[in-house]
């Protein structure tokens, strides 16, 4: 089985099958051979092959060795069969520390973080010591759950036991940043890490800044990393590119793209996906498309990202074509892919196509819809005026449809398409659902509906309730990049250094539009009413 170290898992499996078919020597299939072929099947992620190999192991070795069963757990986990992996673990007559760490890590890698934490508790009850592998899984679980309490407990355990392992600082920085304590991450980065920080430590801190919206700090840290002669890698670029999206900086995205080309990183699937997303969010959909097309390797995330890009730019037909191409290439869509394609159908008014895709989720792809998918369908129907159908759809969901996001979408559709009586019913339901969440947006929508109907007493009542409860709608912000400088604006903004010239040009454009025959639609909007009374 010498083909496996040379990264030829398919060839290794073929050699194993041929050896079995022509076996003459007794004892050919020893533990080393089995471990090699199990690892090969893990790499190719063939479910049927994994099940056949497991059956062969059970027949060949009735009292299978722990090391073989541990490898089988890894194999099933990598094939996304975490339940089967746990069944193997549960039926083991004897376990070692590797068995526990294998199943705990498998649960974390497959998104079952809370279950992994429960297994750690059980592991301790069974008198197995927590080692660096367990700690790594615990930090990952704490990061995924954004649970600082678990992370701090694990950190304290490390200190008490004096445990040190490679990459520990980067795990700690990542965990604290994702748990909302970016200052603790900074302290670890600045004081606890050695002066010669490695790539992983720099990457963890840069990612921590971007995840917390501290984009300028992330860019400054990238500059410092270069000054310290630490060369950014693919992880660095994928971590810093979201800062370009948030800042709307096309120029910076192009600089990162150029760096990736010069250092042969542009073909990395994670860098390519991040570039695609950044260019799209900066408004350069053609650049995003070019990056995606040139990617030599594509996975479900890269396809989903490009589908989302098309949707955000109103290119629903292209999104559908790409979704079909994804299915033909054998890449399985996940729950996020369906959010992306349903959103694309929503923005482009492709309702029938969207409904067909929604129905295929459970029937064809065995993915149970979540609140996000229901919200997409409700908004898709409501956006094109099928408000009653959207309302009946949400009502038919029962408890699954009791979400403020879903009913909020219905309320917006009622307002946009003049279903005022239904809108009042939906709004009252929303206000009852959101008493403790203090959400101002639904109050504003309800007041706009009352205003459209001329029910001024109700408008005053809702406005009074908002003021009494201290509710205020969050101000929307727009931005545009000109000559490398990002200009941000909010409604009635006078803080921009060129606000006088901008207002003059807007007035001039308004007069030109009127001269050309444009007649604005004057509709009452509570946002303007509230602004004028502040």
Mean pLDDT of 89-115: 91
Question: Across 226-278, where does the E strand assignment appear?
Answer: none
CA-angle at 182, arms to 488 and 141, nearest 5°: 120
- Which of the pair, 205 or 28, is modelled with greater confidence? 205
User: Any residues with CB less than 8 A from the CB of 427 and at least 6 apart, and which?
Assistant: 411, 442, 445, 446, 449
Q: How far is CA 227 from CA 169, 214, 222, 224, 239, in A?
A: 21, 20, 9, 5, 18
Q: Which of the given ranges, 25-39, 386-400, 496-510, has the highest pLDDT on average? A: 386-400
Q: Residue 116 — very low, low, confident or very high, per pLDDT cuts 50/70/90?
A: very high
276 pLDDT higher than 80: yes
pTM of the model: 0.73
User: Any residues with CB less than 8 A from the CB of 340 and at least 6 apart, and which?
Assistant: 304, 305, 307, 308, 311, 319
pLDDT score at 4? 47
Mean pLDDT of 469-482: 59
Q: Residue 457 — very low, low, confident or very high, per pLDDT cuts 50/70/90?
A: low
pLDDT score at 108? 92
Q: Which helix (H) or strand (E) holds 353?
A: helix 351-363
| Cα distance from N-terminal residue to C-terminal residue, the chain | 76
pLDDT score at 434? 53
Q: How far is CA 62 from CA 58, 65, 67, 83, in A?
A: 5, 9, 14, 22
What percent of the chain clears pLDDT 90, i.e. is strictly above it? 37
281 pLDDT higher than 50: yes
Q: Residue 338 — very low, low, confident or very high, per pLDDT cuts 50/70/90?
A: very high
Tell me how far the alpha carbon of residue 301 is from its chain's centroid. 9
pLDDT score at 271? 94
pLDDT score at 528? 41
What percent of the chain clears pLDDT 70, i.e. is strictly above it? 78
Mean pLDDT of 401-411: 82
The pLDDT mean for the chain works out to: 82
**Nearest Cα residue to 450 out of 434, 470, 465, 437:** 465
Q: Which of the given ranges, 84-93, 123-132, 317-326, has the highest pLDDT on average? A: 317-326
User: Any residues with CB less than 8 A from the CB of 211 and at least 6 apart, and which?
Assistant: 177, 178
Let me know: does 131 contact 101? Beta carbons within 8 Å.
Answer: yes
- Which of the pair, 404 or 107, is modelled with greater confidence? 107
- Which of the pair, 27 or 259, is modelled with greater confidence? 259
Q: How far apart are CA 231 and CA 347, in angstroms?
A: 41
Would you list the domain boundaries of the chain?
Answer: 478-533
């Amino acid at each position: 089985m010498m083909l496996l170290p040379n990264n030829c898992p398919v060839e290794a499996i073929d050699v194993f099958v041929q050896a079995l078919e022509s076996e003459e020597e007794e004892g050919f299939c020893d533990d080393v051979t089995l471990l090699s072929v199990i690892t090969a099947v893990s790499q190719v992620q063939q479910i049927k092959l994994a099940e056949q190999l497991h059956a062969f192991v059970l027949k060949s070795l009735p009292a299978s060795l722990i090391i073989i069963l541990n490898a089988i757990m890894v194999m099933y986990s990598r094939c996304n069969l975490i339940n089967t992996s746990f069944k193997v673990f549960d039926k083991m007559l004897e376990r070692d520390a590797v068995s526990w760490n294998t199943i705990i890590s498998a649960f974390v890698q497959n998104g079952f973080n809370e279950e992994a934490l429960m297994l750690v508790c059980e592991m301790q009850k069974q008198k197995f010591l927590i080692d660096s592998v367990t700690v790594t899984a615990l930090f990952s679980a704490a990061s995924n759950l954004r649970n600082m309490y678990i992370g701090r407990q694990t950190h304290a355990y490390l200190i008490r036991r004096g445990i040190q392992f490679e990459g520990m600082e980067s795990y700690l920085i990542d965990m604290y940043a994702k748990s909302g304590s970016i200052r603790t991450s900074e302290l670890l980065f600045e004081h606890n890490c050695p002066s010669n920080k490695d790539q992983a430590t720099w990457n963890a801190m840069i990612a921590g800044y971007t995840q917390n919206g501290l984009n300028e700090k992330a860019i400054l840290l990238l500059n410092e990393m270069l000054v310290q002669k630490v060369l950014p890698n693919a992880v660095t670029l994928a971590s810093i590119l979201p800062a370009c999206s948030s800042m709307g900086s096309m120029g910076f995205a192009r600089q990162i793209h150029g760096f990736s080309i010069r250092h042969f990183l542009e073909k990395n699937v994670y860098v390519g996906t991040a570039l695609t997303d950044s260019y799209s969010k900066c408004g350069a959909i053609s650049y995003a498309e070019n990056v995606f097309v040139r990617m030599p390797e594509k996975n479900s995330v890269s396809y989903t990202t490009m589908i989302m890009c098309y949707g955000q730019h109103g290119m629903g037909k292209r999104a559908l074509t790409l979704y079909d191409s994804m299915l033909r290439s054998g890449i399985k869509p996940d729950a996020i892919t369906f959010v992306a394609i349903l959103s694309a159908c929503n923005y482009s008014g492709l309702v029938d196509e969207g409904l067909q895709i929604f129905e295929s989720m459970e029937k064809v792809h065995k993915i149970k819809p979540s609140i996000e998918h229901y919200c997409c369908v409700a908004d898709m129907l409501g956006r094109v005026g099928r408000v009653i159908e959207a309302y009946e759809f949400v009502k038919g969901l029962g408890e699954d449809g009791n979400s403020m996001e879903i009913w909020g979408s219905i309320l917006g559709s009622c307002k946009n398409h003049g279903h005022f009586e239904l809108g009042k019913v939906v709004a009252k339901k929303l206000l009852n659902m959101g008493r403790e969440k203090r959400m101002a947006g639904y109050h504003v929508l309800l007041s706009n509906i009352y205003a459209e109907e001329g029910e001024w007493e109700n408008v005053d009542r809702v406005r009074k309730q908002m003021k009494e409860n201290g509710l205020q709608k969050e101000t929307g912000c727009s931005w545009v990049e000109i000559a490398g400088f990002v200009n941000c604006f909010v409604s009635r903004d006078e803080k921009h250094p060129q606000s006088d010239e901008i207002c003059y040009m807007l007035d001039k454009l308004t007069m030109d539009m009127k001269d050309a025959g444009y007649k604005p639609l004057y509709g009452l909007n509570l946002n303007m009413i509230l602004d004028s009374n502040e």
